[in-house]
Structure 1
Amino acid sequence: MSDAAPATTSLPYTDTKPAGHADFYFAINATFRFILRHRGEQALRSYWRDLGGSYYRPVSQNWAQHGLPAVADYWRAFFKAEPGAGVEVVESADEVRLEVTRCPAIHHLREHAREIVPQFCQHCHFVSEAIAAPAGLTARVCGGNGACTQRFFKRTAHTAPQNLEDIATAS
């Protein structure tokens, strides 16, 4: 009998581990730093949008087909596999809200005295927005640098854009 976690259709990949490995956070932080240094902030944002729009296309399609319950299912599965996460997924008829009390990435990077890319927390907005938009949804992030609130709800003609000043600089 294996202790491996069953594959879930809420995630865009199949993994047999019950949780990911936190050292992955080193790799994404280094990737963000490399793009930022060599290509600039707009290229980094483009990278995040491309990641959300291509790699996460199956997630977006699932959200488009099943709505906000699929958003909640995805984030519950996602954070269950993230080592050291402190996240509550709150689901209502109008939105899904993530109350992140312990960001596993920021925590791990700090714990290992890594210099965190200042824009690190913006990736949550740009990737999530790229996933949400084709599904008729939008994503908003408030806070960051270890704790934040992320909201997913239906996009309307009156939906204001994300104010990047609402996303904390990581350190």
Structure 2
Amino acid sequence: MKKLNLKVYVFLVVLLFISMTSCKKDNISLENNLPEIPVTVSNQFGLFTAPTVSTSLSGGGKIIIELEIPASSGRTIKEISKVAIGTAYGALTTPANVFVSTPIAGNGTKVVFNSTLAEYTAFTKLTLPTSSQAGTTSAAAMLGRNYYFSITLDNGQIIVPQYVRVYVDK
């Protein structure tokens, strides 16, 4: 009877070992989720917690984000298929956060997204940082929400690169 129990025990240990070593690793939220083909922000102002571009109040508040993939990837950018504004990557899947759903055509390995601070504030209903004196907008700061992009390549592959922040100068 003990031999039978030992056989069952060995079988269960082997079965447990096989099941643990054959599991596919799921995405863990603490990992960096970098796309297969890297996307860079070619007009990056700085790298704080994410690539950051700058705009200025005196310059009209134009927001320009230039996204680029390496020429060595063998791929080209067909379009930015979706732009969202939010605080997490889930913004791309939340209809209320989708800022642009009309495709923005790419040009080879580059695509340019254009917007303004006025469009940002109208969409988010957030105000820009203001000075305590006379209520004028004068403080330099990061916008309260980030830009998230869904990029479609020429082969139909979809890439979601790291979000982009916007620094607003006086």
The reply to whether TM is greater than 0.5 is no
TM-score (norm 1): 0.27
Bigger helix share: 1
TM-score with structure 2 setting the length: 0.27
Point out which structure has higher relative CO (alpha carbons under 8 A, 6+ apart).
2
- In our comparison, the structure showing a higher alpha carbon Rg is 2
